[in-house]
A and B are shown apart, each in its own frame.
Chain A
Amino acid sequence: DVKVTQSSRYLVKRTGEKVFLECVQDMDHENMFWYRQDPGLGLRLIYFSYDVKMKEKGDIPEGYSVSREKKERFSLILESASTNQTSMYLCASSPHRGPEKLFFGSGTQLSVL
């Protein structure tokens, strides 16, 4: 089975801190994604990557950056955390070809105080 692992299940940070959310997948997938999920707003795409060193902005990239130095790892960075970034963050991966069947990690519930 495909495994997408997010480093933390729960995280509490202070306003202004730099936050790293890590995601690793073990199925050699080309594509990786970062979403945030908020009640009433559904899943919203922050950034995605279709190859190593490649990154593309999603629908809500402001306040975030990403890094993909290795194929299996896709990191989301909050340069200076703010309270409106309190959310559930979901990482996903998918193979390069075929329908985009996403495999999701378990999520990181981030609280910014």
Chain B
Amino acid sequence: GQNIDQPTEMTATEGAIVQINCTYQTSGFNGLFWYQQHAGEAPTFLSYNVLDGLEEKGRFSSFLSRSKGYSYLLLKELQMKDSASYLCAVRDPGNTPLVFGKGTRLSVIA
């Protein structure tokens, strides 16, 4: 089985940097995903990490440490449109679907 933990809510200021953490305990591991979901909309893919280290994509970066069962999503130069829920999801080595954490609702304030 898998257990995925992330904070329920976070608030940050426009223009700032915010780090959203995700920890997982799994029987196996074959990659970690981050999705963004605006209120009332479908989740959309942000990033995928399977090896340790930092993956940078514009204002967003995602980090993975497999030995610690830990990932974070880093958002720089926050904009109001970044207000959304951010979902962490983990994949098993077997042919099993992604398991999602409960999501972190980020509010960006002026």
Q: List residues of chain A with CB under 8 Å of any chain B CB.
A: 4, 31, 33, 35, 40-45, 48, 50, 58, 90, 99-107
Secondary structure type dominating chain B contacts: loop
What separation, in Å, do the CA atoms of A87 and B11 have in the docked complex? 26
What are 18 A-B contacts defined by CB distance under 8 Å?
A35-B100, A42-B102, A42-B103, A45-B99, A99-B31, A99-B33, A99-B48, A99-B50, A100-B33, A100-B97, A101-B33, A102-B43, A102-B45, A103-B45, A104-B42, A105-B42, A107-B41, A107-B42
Which size bracket describes the interface of B in this complex? 20 to 34
What separation, in Å, do the CA atoms of A40 and B105 have in the docked complex? 11
Set of chain A residues within 8 Å of B102, measured between Cβ atoms: 40-42
B37 to chain A, nearest CB (A): 9
* CB < 8 Å neighbour of B48 from A40, A41, A101, A103: A101
Residue pair A45, B101 in contact (C-beta under 8 Å): no
For B42-77 the 0/1 string (1 means CB < 8 A from A) is 111100101000000000000000000000000000
